[in-house]
Structure 1
Amino acid sequence: MRTILSIVLLCFCGIAFSQSTITGTVLDDVSQQPIPSANVVIVGTSVGTATDFDGNFTLSTDKNPPFTIQVSSVGFTAKDIEVTSKKQVINVILNEGTSLDEVVISASRTPERIFESSVTVERFGLKEIKNTASADFYDGLENLKGVDVNTNSLTFKSVNTRGFATFANTRFMQLVDGMDNSTPALNFPIGNLVGMTETDVLSVELLPGASSALYGANAFNGILFMRSKNPFDHQGISASIKRGITSQEAAGDNPYTDLSLRMAHKFSDKIAVKVNFGYLKGTDWQATSEVDKIDPTRTRSNTNYDGINVYGDEVSTNIRAASGLGIIPDVVVSRTGYNERDLTNYNAESIKSDWGLYYRPIEDSNLEISYVGKVGTGTTIYQGTNRYNINGFFQQQHKLEVKNDNFFVRAYEVSDKAGKSYDMVFTGININRAWKSDTDWFQDYIGAYAGLELTGNPGGLTDQQKHDFARSVADEVIDPDGVDDGIERFVPGSPEYVAAFNKSINDPDLRTGSKFQDASKYFHSDANYNLGHLIDFAEIQVGGSYRKYKLNSGGTIYTDRLSPIEYSEFGIYSQIQKEIELDEEMELKLTVSGRYDKSELFDGFFSPRLSAALTLNRNHNVRASVQTGFRNPTTQDLFIGLDAGRAILVGSAASNLNRYSGDYDVSLVGQTTYGQSNTITQTGAAAYNNSYSASSVVAFAAAGNPALLDIANPEIIKPEKVTSMEVGYRGKYESIIVDLSAYYNKYEDFISQEVVVAPLYGTVGDNSLSVAALANGDFKTYSAYTNSDVDVNSYGASIGLSTKIFNGFDLGGSYTFTKQDFDQAANPDFQTNFNTPEHKFKASFGNTNLFENFGFNVAYRFSDDYFWEATFGNGIVPEFHTIDAQINYRVPSLKSIIKVGATNLTGNEYFTAFGTGFIGSMYYASLTINNL
Structure 2
Amino acid sequence: MLFCVVSFAQTTVKGKIIDNTGLPLPGANIVIVGTSSGTVSDFDGNYTLSVDQEPPFSIRISYTGFETKTIEVTTKNQTVDVTLNEGNSLDEVVISASRTPERIFESPVTVERFGLKEIKNTASADFYGGLENLKGVDVNTNSLTFKSVNTRGFATFANTRFVQLVDGMDNSAPALNFPLGNLLGMTETDVLSVELLPGASSALYGANAFNGILFMRSKSPFDHQGISGYIKRGITSQEAAGDNEYTDLGIRMAYKFSDKFAAKVNFGYLKGTDWYATNYDDKNMNGGTRESNVNYDGVNVYGDNVTINIKDAAPASIQGIIPDVNVSRTGYKEVDLTDYNAESIKADWGLYFRPWENDFEIQYVGKIGSGSTIYQGAQRYRIDNFFLQQHKLEIKNDDFFVRGYITADKAGDTYVMDVAGPNLLQAWKSHQDWFGQYIQTFAGATLGGATEAEAHAAARQVAETGRLVPGTPEFQNAFDQVTSETNFLTGSAFKDESKIYHADANYNFGEKIKFAEIQIGGSHRTYRLNSFGTIYADANDPITYSELGIYTQLQKSVALNEDLELKLTGSVRYDKSELFDGFLSPRISAGLTVNENHNFRASFQSGFRNPDTQSLYIGLQTGLGTLVGGASDIGDRYQRDHAVSSFAQNNLGQPSTITQTADAAYSNSLFASIAGDLSNHDSSSNGSNYVANSNYVKPEQVSSFEVGYRGKFNHFIIDASAYYSSYKDFLANENVAAPLYGDISNFDLTGYDPSNPASVAGLNSDTQQILAALNNGDYVGYQTYTNSEEKVNSYGAAVQVSTKVFNGFDLSANYTYAKMDFDVKGNPDFRTNFNTPEHKVKATFGKTELFKNFGFNVSWRWSDNYFWEASFGDGEVPAFHVLDAQINYRVTSLKSTFKLGATNLLQDEYFTAFGTGFIGSQYYVSWTINNL
TM value normalised by structure 2: 0.94
Counterpart selection for 1:101 from 87, 91, 96 = 91
Deviation string, structure 1 residues 584-612 (Cα, Å, up to 9, x no partner): 21111111101111111111111111111
Indicate whether 1:734 and 2:714 are aligned: yes
Change (3 A) 1:234 1:762: same
Partner of 1:340: 334
**2:254 alignment counterpart:** 264
Which one of 745, 756, 765 corresponds to residue 736 of structure 2?
A: 756
TM-superposition CA deviations, 1:609-641 (whole Å, max 9, x none): 111111001000001111211111111110001
Give the letter aligned to residue 657 of structure 1: G
SS at the partner of 2:398? coil
Contact 2:803 2:812 in 1 (8 A): yes
Contact 1:695 1:829 in 2 (8 A): no
Q: Which of 444, 465, 469 does residue 454 from structure 2 map onto? A: 465
Conserved? CA contact 1:314–1:645, under 8 Å: no
Q: Secondary structure at the match of 2:533?
A: coil
Q: Structure 1 stretch 428-437 or stretch 136-145: which is displaced more?
A: 428-437
Tell me if structure 1 keeps the 8 A contact 2:489–2:622: no
Any idea what SS the aligned residue of 2:266 has?
strand
Cross-structure match for 1:446: 439
Which residue pairs with 1:614 in the alignment? 592
Structure 1, unpaired ranges of 5+: 1-8, 477-487, 672-676
Whether 1:720 and 2:700 are equivalent positions in the alignment is yes
- Counterpart mapping for 1:348-747 below 5 A: 348-363=342-357, 365-453=358-446, 457-458=447-448, 460-476=449-465, 488-657=466-635, 659-664=637-642, 681-694=659-672, 703=680, 710-747=690-727
Could you report, residue by residue, the CA deviation over 1:640-695 in whole angstroms, capped at 9, with x for unpaired residues?
A: 01135544321011111353344555666699xxxxx9755543323322333455
CA contact (8 A) 2:128 2:182 kept: yes
- Aligned partners of 2:565 and 2:547: how far apart in 1? 39
- 1:248 and 2:238 correspond: yes
Give the conservation status (yes or no) of the 8 Å contact 1:693–1:829: no
Structure 1 residues 644 and 20: CA distance shift in structure 2, 3 A:
farther
Q: Which letter does structure 2 place at the counterpart of 1:132?
A: T
Identity %: 65
Q: Secondary structure at the match of 1:830?
A: coil
Structure 1 CA distance, aligned partners of 2:771 and 2:288?
29
Structure 1 residue 452 displacement after superposition: 3.8
Contact 2:489–2:623 at 8 Å: present in 1 too?
A: no
Bigger mean CA offset, 839-848 vs 686-695: 686-695
Report the counterpart of residue 878 of structure 2 in structure 1.
878
**Could you tell me how far 1:810 is from its partner in structure 2?**
0.5
User: CA contact under 8 A between 1:385 and 1:644: conserved in structure 2?
Assistant: no
**Separation of aligned partners in 1, 2:632 and 2:31:** 56
Contact 1:755/1:830 (8 A) holds in 2: no
CA distance in 2, matches of 1:624, 1:551: 41
Q: Distance in 2 between matches of 1:685 and 1:564?
A: 19
Distance (whole Å) between structure 1 residues aligned to residue 310 and residue 269 of structure 2: 51
C-alpha separation between the residues in 2 aligned to 1:218 and 1:274? 31
Match of 2:14, as an amino acid?
T
Shift of 1:759: 4.5
Question: Does the Cα contact within 8 Å between 1:129 and 1:140 map onto a contact in 2?
Answer: yes
CA-to-aligned-CA distance 1:749-807 (integer Å, 9 cap, x gap):
11222333445555554436445655566554432211111111111100011000001
Partners in 1 of 2:734 and 2:725 — Cα distance? 22
Partner of 1:279: 269
Deviates more, 1:839-848 or 1:754-763: 754-763
Amino acid at match of 1:309: N
SS in 1 for 2:80: strand
**Are 1:386 and 1:644, in contact at CA under 8 Å, matched by a contact in 2?**
no
SS of the residue corresponding to residue 172 of structure 2 reads coil
Deviation of 1:288 (Å): 1.2
- 2:37 matched residue in structure 1: 47
- Is the alpha carbon distance of 1:822 and 1:324 closer, same or farther for their aligned partners in structure 2, counting shifts above 3 Å? farther
Structure 2 residue 303 is the aligned partner of structure 1 residue 312: yes
Q: What are the ranges of 5 or more consecutive residues in structure 2 without an aligned counterpart? A: 650-654, 750-766
Shift of 1:13: 2.5
User: C-alpha separation between the residues in 2 aligned to 1:906 and 1:516?
Assistant: 40
Tell me how far apart the structure 2 counterparts of residues 461 and 199 of structure 1 sit (CA, whole Å): 69
Secondary structure of 2:634's aligned partner: coil
Q: Provide the C-alpha distance between the structure 2 equivalents of 1:877 and 1:100, rounded to a whole number of angstroms.
A: 35
Residue range with higher mean Cα deviation, 503-512 or 780-789: 780-789
1:65 partner SS = coil
User: 1:321 touches 1:776 (CA, 8 Å); kept in 2?
Assistant: no
Q: Is the 8 A contact 1:742 1:797 kept in 2?
A: yes
Provide the residue aligned with 1:832 in structure 2: 832
Distance 2:470 2:847 in 1: 52
Is the 1:321–1:777 contact (alpha carbons within 8 Å) kept by the matching residues of 2? no
CA 1:72–1:641: 2 relative to 1, 3 Å: same
Matched residues, number: 901
Contact 1:246–1:255 (8 Å) recurs in 2: yes
> Partner letter of residue 530 of structure 1?
N
CA 352–74 in structure 1, closer or farther in 2 if over 3 Å, else same: same
The 3 A distance-change label for structure 1 pair 701 and 844 is farther
Partner of 1:146: 136
C-alpha contact (below 8 Å) 2:726/2:792 kept by paired residues = yes
Report the Cα distance in structure 2 between the residues aligned to 1:691 and 1:462, rounded to whole angstroms. Answer: 42
Amino acid aligned to 1:474: A
Rounded Cα–Cα distance in structure 2 between residues aligned with 1:396 and 1:925: 31
- CA distance in 2 between partners of 1:756 and 1:77 (Å): 62
Deviation at 1:441, TM superposition (A): 1.8
In the alignment, the residues of structure 2 paired with residue 669 and residue 292 of structure 1 have an alpha-carbon distance, to the nearest angstrom, of 37
In the alignment, is the contact (CA less than 8 A) between 1:649 and 1:782 conserved in 2? yes
SS in 2 for 1:533: coil
Tell me by how many angstroms 1:306 deviates. Answer: 1.3
Q: Deviations over 1:44-73 (max 9, x none)?
A: 221111111111111122222221111111
**Residue aligning to 1:22:** 13
C-alpha separation in 2, matches of 1:24 and 1:871: 60
Which moves more between the two structures, 849-858 or 428-437? Answer: 428-437
Q: Which residue of 1 aligns with 2:761?
A: none
TM-score relative to the length of structure 1: 0.94
8 Å contact kept, 1:619–1:731: yes
Task: Give CA-to-partner distance per residue, 1:203-240, whole Å, 9 cap, x none.
Answer: 00000011111111021110100000100100111010
Q: Measure how far apart 1:831 and its partner are.
A: 1.3
Distance 1:129 1:354, change over 3 A: same
